[in-house]
Each structure stands twice: as C-alpha cells, then as structure tokens.
Amino acid sequence: MKRFLVISLALMLVLSVFATAGMSEGKQKVVVWTWYSEQLNPSIVKAFMEKFPQYEVEAVNIPSNELEQKLLAAIAADSGLPDASSIQGDSIQKFIAYGGLMDLTDRITPMVGDYPPYKIANDTGSDGKIYGVPIDCGPCALYYQKEIAAECGIDPAVDFATWDSWVAAGEKYKAKGYALARMTEVGDAGALGMWTQQQGQSLFDEQGNATINTPEFINAATLLKKLWDSGTTGDWAEWTPQYNDAVVGKKVGTLYGAAWYMNVFIHSFDDARDWAIVPLPAFEGSEVRTSNLGGSEMIIPEGAENPEGGWEFIKFYVGSTESANDRLNALGEFPAYRPLYKLPEVESKTAKYFGDQKVFSFFNELLPSVPSYRTPAPFLAIRDNLLAPELPKLMSGELSPEAFAANCQTLAEAIVRDF
C-alpha cells in the first residue's frame, strides 16, 4: 500500500510537469517578446484578446539590450521563437542580413502607405522585401525650458535657428547659471548619427560600404567638439538620476531628442513643467530641421509556431488607430501609424509638460522632412563599439574632427569587412 502511494505520488508529480498551466482550452497561444510588456498588458493585450477570443497572448518582458541577443540565439537554435517581437529600428537590417525573419511584404502592402516612407525603407531588405512593421518613430526636435529661456533672453526663432547660434546662446544660459544642454567627455555617438542624418548623409552607402569620412560627418563631429569646448554644457550622463534631477530642477535649458522623449518625460522627468518643442536648429546652408533617432519595429521570426496569430497581434498593435491612440495616451509614444494623426482629438492633443502646444501634430508635420538613413548589419557595431569608445579622442582634442573621421573610417571598413 505504501509502495502504491509512493508510486502514485511520483507519477502525479511527473505528469504535472507536462500540464499546460494557465492555458485556456481551445485557444491558440501567441507569444510576444517586447521590452514594455508591463505597459502593454493592461490595455492592448486585453483589448486584442477581447477582439480575437481565439488567441491568448503571452507578453514576455525582456529588457531591450537583452532581447536581441535572445532573439539571435533563438533564431540560430530554431527553437523557442516568439510569434512576434519588438526590435530596435537600428537593428532590423542586421536581422534581415543574418536571415531568420519572415517576409511580411504581402501582408503589409495594403497598409504600407500608413507609415513614413523612411521607416518602410529601413525595414526593407536588399531583396526588396519588407520584414518589419514600424511601431514608433523618432523625428527629432529641440526641447527647451520656457522659463529659463525667458530669463536668459532667448529668442527661439533666432537663437535656435542654426546649430552655431544655438551653441552661441549657451553663453546666455551660462551667464545666468544654467547649462545649455548636457554633454560629457565621452561625447554622444547617437547625436553624431542624428546630425549626420540631418544633413542627408549616412554612415553607409547603398552598397553597405562605410562612409564615415564625409563632410557631413565632419560637420557633426565639429559641432560636438564645439559644444564641449564652449563650456556651456552640464556634466551629466544621459539616463542618470543626476540628469533627471537637473531637468526637473531647471538646471538645463535645452535638450535635443526624438519624439519618444515625450515618453521619457513621463518616466524620468515627471515633475518637469513649461517645456516647449521647436524644430532642430539647421546646419549652415541647409533647411532641414529634423532627423531621426531610434524607433522600433515588430517582426515575426521564421519558424514561429503561430505566425498567423503573431501577424494578427501586430496588425492590431501597430496597425489600428485604437491601439495607436492607446499607446499615445498611456505611454506618450509617437506611433508610426500616420492615420492616427488625422483623428481630431489627436490633431489637437497636448501633453502636460508642454503647455498648450499641440505636440503630436508638431512631430507629425516634421515626418515628411526626415532624411532617409541606412543602418545595415554593422551599424550598431560601428555606433556602439567603434564611435562610442573613439569619441573621447575627439572630445579631448587628441584628434581633430577630420582626423577623427578618417580614423573611424579606417576602423569601420574593417568592421564592415567582418560582417
């Protein structure tokens, strides 16, 4: 009897391992990997499951910097793949080059006009096929604190017209004890790319060769060095509590950033008030006053167990005004789905940090001007593993902007060869 009980207990324990816990009968599971699933869960996932009761969504939260590593490993192993996943816009070309993403061309073609052309171009492989659907985009602008600007006698139309006048305005901020912007001796590799793109240039040509040693990149490097040498910046690293305190505590007058910085205001600068947004200052001889920084895409890996469920989720998540509006309201995101901005309530929508400025319309109007930019497979390796470590040589004066560009060009060519 005792032996029978022991064997029964052991069998029950073994069988319980194979039980599909929490899965409702008859429903198809859709596994979604994303880095903001806590925000996703309450609104969008619930709404999706109500509209599509045959699906049960499992939203898995993976930090952004780990998600791509896990996804690459899953693609290589052809196992454990999600049915849909977010990835950073800067990385999608790497995934396309490596292989393992599902061709979404036929699925997205009916709605391709609903997204900015430069985002669709970024999600398109060299074979002309589309592998991703844009979630959000990052048209860039200059944010400035209105009270500080008034106190320093800043006229945005004049002082923020060009990058040179913006740097010069730093003296006005400094005289009153404020910082123009933040900058550290390690520089800002993202800003280099943003300024290069603003001038219509890219770190790569159409064939994927490195094109760093260009006049546009040198202009961007010169601006970075000039900003640092002006002594009008605050010594804060980005995404640190000290910088957040400086923004909220009205110590810094301006910051250049993407539309999704409005989301950053919610999460990091929540007590900030009285900010305004204007187009980026222009480079001399150019009228382009925006660029792009960041943005993310949804993809479906080949070998996903439920690609149809994954596609339905993607369509609902990033291809409908309801969920785009949800994300805009809940997350302060700037969704890439353009029909959203035709809605009257979105056209006139404001955000609490920016007074009565219609911020979402503002960024929507900038979108057509964003120059295209190429981010092939070696892009992140060059931005993060080359430009970021090399920048201190520019900032310290060890290399001139021209020598810095030439040096980075040589090193980038080696990286591109490896890829």
Partner 1 sequence: MVRHACVAKARPESDGSGRANDPNRREGSDDMGTKRMSARRFVRAYGNCYAFVLPFFVLFGIFGVYPMFYSLYLSFVNWTPKKMTFIGLGNFQKLISDPVFWTSIKNTLYLLVINVPLMTFLAVIFAYMFNDSRFKGRRVYQLIYLLPYVTSTVAISIVFIILFDDANGWVNVFLNRVGLPSVKWLRSEGVAMWTYNILTIWQWVGYNMLILLGGLQTIDCTLYEAAYIDGSTRVKNMIYIMIPHLMPVIWFCLIMSTIGTFNSFVPSKVLFSPEGGPGYATYTVTFYQYQQTFQNFRLGYGATIAFAILIFIAVLSIPQVIRAIKDR
The single residue listed with the structure tokens 């994927």 is 208
Alpha-carbon distance of 285 to 42, in angstroms, equals: 48
Give least dist CB 361 to partner 1, A: 35
Give least dist CB 224 to partner 1, A: 15
Decide whether 75 or 227 has the Cβ nearer to partner 1.
75
- Strands (E) in 330-382, as ranges, are none
Classify 303 in phi/psi space as left (phi over 0), alpha (psi -120 to 50) or beta. left
The gap between the terminal CA atoms of the chain, to the nearest Å, is: 66
Decide whether 177 or 368 has the Cβ nearer to partner 1.
177
The reply on whether position 242 binds partner 1 by CB under 8 A is yes
- As given in the structure block, the two tokens for residue 280 are 């980026």
Give least dist CB 383 to partner 1, A: 11
The reply on whether position 248 binds partner 1 by CB under 8 A is no
**Which residues, 99 to 118, sit near partner 1 by CB under 8 A?**
99-100
Give least dist CB 375 to partner 1, A: 15
Give least dist CB 385 to partner 1, A: 6
Alpha-carbon distance of 82 to 71, in angstroms, equals: 8
**Which residues, 300 to 319, sit near partner 1 by CB under 8 A?**
none
Q: Which stretch in 260-268, 281-289, 342-350, 380-388 sits in contact with partner 1 by CB under 8 A?
A: 380-388
Q: Which of 161, 278, 381, 406 binds partner 1 (CB under 8 A)?
A: 381
The reply on whether position 72 binds partner 1 by CB under 8 A is yes
233 burial via Cβ count (<10 Å: 0-12, 13-18, 19+): buried
Q: Which stretch in 1-9, 126-134, 225-233, 376-384 sits in contact with partner 1 by CB under 8 A?
A: 376-384
The reply on whether position 126 binds partner 1 by CB under 8 A is no
Give least dist CB 354 to partner 1, A: 28
Decide whether 99 or 285 has the Cβ nearer to partner 1.
99
Greatest extent of the chain over all pairs of C-alpha atoms, in Å: 92
Total number of residues shown for the chain: 419
The reply on whether position 226 binds partner 1 by CB under 8 A is no
Give least dist CB 108 to partner 1, A: 22
Decide whether 96 or 367 has the Cβ nearer to partner 1.
96
Dihedral (Cα; 264, 267, 268, 273), 10-degree rounding: 80
Q: Which of 171, 144, 141, 354 is nearest to 252 (CA)?
A: 144
- Strands (E) in 287-378, as ranges, are 292-299
The reply on whether position 208 binds partner 1 by CB under 8 A is no
Give least dist CB 249 to partner 1, A: 12
Give least dist CB 400 to partner 1, A: 17
Q: Could you tell me if 373 and 292 are in contact, meaning their C-beta atoms sit under 8 angstroms apart?
A: yes
Alpha-carbon distance of 361 to 348, in angstroms, equals: 7
**Which residues, 51 to 70, sit near partner 1 by CB under 8 A?**
69
Decide whether 23 or 237 has the Cβ nearer to partner 1.
237
**Which residues, 162 to 201, sit near partner 1 by CB under 8 A?**
184-186
Residues 383-402, one symbol each (x = binds partner 1 by CB under 8 A, - = not), give -xx--xxxxxx---------
- As given in the structure block, the two tokens for residue 263 are 């989301």
The reply on whether position 98 binds partner 1 by CB under 8 A is yes
Helix residue spans in 78-214 (DSSP H): 92-98, 105-108, 117-122, 146-151, 156-159, 163-175, 189-198
Give least dist CB 221 to partner 1, A: 15
Give least dist CB 177 to partner 1, A: 16
Q: Which stretch in 72-80, 122-130, 156-164, 349-357 sits in contact with partner 1 by CB under 8 A?
A: 72-80
Q: Which stretch in 20-28, 103-111, 234-242, 277-285 sits in contact with partner 1 by CB under 8 A?
A: 234-242
Q: How many CB atoms lie within 10 A of CB 415?
A: 16
The single residue listed with the structure tokens 């945005």 is 156
Please state the φ and ψ torsions of residue 138, each to the nearest 5 degrees: -125, 60
DSSP labels, 241-298 = HHHHHHHHTT-B-EEEEETTHHHHHHHT-TT--SEEEEEPPBPTT------EEEEEEE
Question: Site residues (CB under 8 A) for partner 1?
Answer: 69, 72, 75-76, 97-100, 184-186, 235, 237, 242, 380-381, 384-385, 388-393, 411, 414, 418
